A and B are shown apart, each in its own frame.
Chain A
Amino acid sequence: MRLHKSGLMLIAAIVTGFAISRFEHLINPYYYQVLIYIGINIILASSLNLINGFAGQFSLGHAGFMAVGAYTSAVVTSQLHFASSSMLNTAAFSLALLLGGIVAAIFGLLVGIPSLRLKGDYLAITTLGFGEIIRVIVQNLDFLGGARGFTGIPKLTNFVWVFSTVAIVILLVSNLINSTYGKSFLAVRDDELAAETIGISSTRVKVIAFVTGAFFAGVAGALYAHFVTYINPAQFSFLKSFEIVVMVIIGGMGSIFGVILSAILLTILPEMLRSVAQYRMVVYSLLLIVIMITRPRGLFVRTRTAKQSVALKTLR
């Protein structure tokens, strides 16, 4: 029985998703939309958590992977879309999500390679640079609509697609991290050199983290594109990457549950602040500063022993 525990959990999650989607029409569309954004943000933040939180590679280019996934999938569905048949739509969309993820993963590999030589701030600025390069290239590609954006993407994303992906990402990341295999990620994050001396290839770990993280960012981008139905390069600037990084940091790097909570919180917070319209980004930025000063390890992370904090402090 235990052998299939993960599988069962996944199926349960997807069945629940379907059940809820039956009542989709009962949910206020605004809440529904916020829920979808929550789901997409959980996928983005959890996949970045794999790179930043578990493999310890500080990346500021996640929006770039998202863009690759979004555009790839949009091209696929615009070529394959059969509005008449829902079966074919499902097939086309599955393919689009998968291809979006795969192409993003290939870009993840390209970005992962420099990460092998770079650390900390240098890596951060390089990944930011890669994200921006991707955006600029898209902006110059006419067949993707350039700056005018890609219009007419079919609205295929729904509750089931998003939350099945959420379930898969969370399960996958937690399975990985709680396995003996996954300990190599944490070892590289904690002390790269010590990890190397027990035979762990930091190269391999970093590349796997970037490729997997990018894959899911790509899928999230594809889900996003087929929800908003219109994408343009400006949506995937480094500011989007910052947003995702902030979710990971506030949730607590390397905390699966904390990052989920912060993705939820940071999606809802701007909505709650709608009433203060022009002030909301100012409030948001102040909150960010205050949280960093008072709860630097993240809002949802248990406090560690004093000694450990000291050790972690000296790490980076």
Chain B
Amino acid sequence: MSEFLQQVINGISLGSIYALIALGYTMIYGILRFINFAHGDVFMVGAFIGYFVAPHVISLTGGSLWIAAPIVLIVTMVGCSALGVTIEKLAYRPLRSRPKLTVLITAIGVSFFLEYGGQLVFGPDPKLFPTLIPSSSLINTQHVVIGTNSIVVILTAIVLMLLLRFIVYNTKMGTAMRAVSFDHRVASLMGINIDSVISFTFVLGSGLAAAASLLYASVYPSINPLMGIFPGLKAFVAAVLGGIGNLAGAALGGLIIGITETFVSGYISSSYRDAIAFAILILILLFKPSGILGRHDRDKV
């Protein structure tokens, strides 16, 4: 029972990180209808920005992590947002009216570029991520341990998700985003500037990926240029699982993948973990192709 409880906490903590990445995937998909394969690598770049920025910030703030961490978070989010918008402008925008497949391949190209470029610039060896979240155990019994890490991860994820929800549903830009995701043409007829909405979406998505990367790196403090591949892929699976284009779905999908993976690792075998995430995905798609919370697109005749 105690083992079970521990696994649930491990799972939620991992799942909320997946959820943050998945939100970026799902928003970009909702607006542009293509899989931004480079999203996982934006996540990776976020971790490296944090790696380079954090020591300076920490020394400037006199070592107080409670002040330093939010500053690093903001700097990283700004950095990743700038990267996301740049990628969109340079690589995706020229292709906006082209077949989705072309954009998909371009996204794969961008992903390779960031990974191999990262190996070149940052070096291929793993780096130790500095401590941003003061690590101690909140609950520490013989069998169950809950550290500040897990709690901070879960709380930050919840706050960011609520913030995102507020932006999407209660601001003018959010309304414009929803309009664009519904129909580009109609939205532009309504006087919405599609370009700025898309840029804004990349700002939000990449910012969330940046936050996720800091949380991830704080819990698992080894970062390297290829670290984005699997979390990115899993997050995408989570987005599809929840119903791609659906914010609540992405969060739910992230949690499901995180918890399932943890349970499979703990009770069956971690060697099947990567396969299990995909197996769930395939089953869901076979029985409910639009995902758990997704709406079904009907082929218009």
User: Using a CB–CB distance below 8 Å, which chain A residues touch chain B?
Assistant: 58, 114, 117-118, 120-122, 124-126, 128-130, 132-133, 136-137, 139-140, 193, 238, 242, 245-246, 249, 253, 278-279, 281-282, 284-286, 288-289, 292-293, 296, 312-313, 315-316
Q: Determine which of B99, B113, B272, B282 lies in contact with A130 in the assembled complex, contact meaning CB atoms within 8 Å.
A: B282
Closest A residue by C-beta to B279? A133
Residues on B with beta carbons closer than 8 Å to the beta carbon of A118: 285, 289
Q: Across the interface, do A316 and B106 meet the contact criterion of CB distance under 8 Å?
A: no
Closest A residue by C-beta to B241? A125
Alpha-carbon distance between A133 and B271 when the two chains are bound, in angstroms: 11
Alpha-carbon distance between A140 and B269 when the two chains are bound, in angstroms: 10
Indicate if B200 sits at the interface (CB-CB under 8 A): no
- The tally of CB-CB contacts under 8 A between chains A and B is 120
Given the interface contacts A129-B278, A289-B109, does A279 sit within 8 Å of B120 by beta carbon?
A: yes
Closest B residue by C-beta to A116? B286
Which has the most chain A C-beta neighbours within 10 Å: B106, B109, B281, B289?
Answer: B109
Given the interface contacts A126-B281, A129-B278, does A315 sit within 8 Å of B99 by beta carbon?
A: yes
Interface size on B, residues (CB 8 A): 47
Indicate if B105 sits at the interface (CB-CB under 8 A): yes
Interface pairs (22), CB distance under 8 Å? A120-B100, A121-B29, A121-B100, A121-B244, A122-B289, A126-B281, A130-B282, A132-B274, A132-B278, A133-B275, A136-B275, A246-B105, A279-B120, A285-B117, A286-B109, A286-B113, A288-B106, A292-B106, A293-B94, A313-B98, A313-B99, A316-B100
Indicate if B194 sits at the interface (CB-CB under 8 A): no
Q: Across the interface, do B285 and A284 meet the contact criterion of CB distance under 8 Å?
A: no
Residues on A with beta carbons closer than 8 Å to the beta carbon of B110: 285, 289
Q: Determine which of B98, B112, B275 lies in contact with A132 in the assembled complex, contact meaning CB atoms within 8 Å.
A: B275
Residues on A with beta carbons closer than 8 Å to the beta carbon of B286: 114, 117
Q: Determine which of A281, A286, A288 lies in contact with B105 in the assembled complex, contact meaning CB atoms within 8 Å.
A: A288
Q: Determine which of A139, A288, A293 lies in contact with B112 in the assembled complex, contact meaning CB atoms within 8 Å.
A: A288
Given the interface contacts A282-B120, A316-B99, does A289 sit within 8 Å of B106 by beta carbon?
A: yes
Q: Across the interface, do A129 and B99 meet the contact criterion of CB distance under 8 Å?
A: no
Indicate if B54 sits at the interface (CB-CB under 8 A): no
Closest B residue by C-beta to A278? B120
Indicate if B95 sits at the interface (CB-CB under 8 A): yes
Q: Determine which of B98, B113, B278, B279 lies in contact with A296 in the assembled complex, contact meaning CB atoms within 8 Å.
A: B98
Q: Determine which of B98, B104, B244, B282 lies in contact with A129 in the assembled complex, contact meaning CB atoms within 8 Å.
A: B282
Residues on A with beta carbons closer than 8 Å to the beta carbon of B34: 121
Residues on B with beta carbons closer than 8 Å to the beta carbon of A140: 269, 271-272
Residues on A with beta carbons closer than 8 Å to the beta carbon of B285: 114, 117-118, 122, 126
User: Smallest distance from the beta carbon of A241 to chain B beta carbons, Å?
Assistant: 10
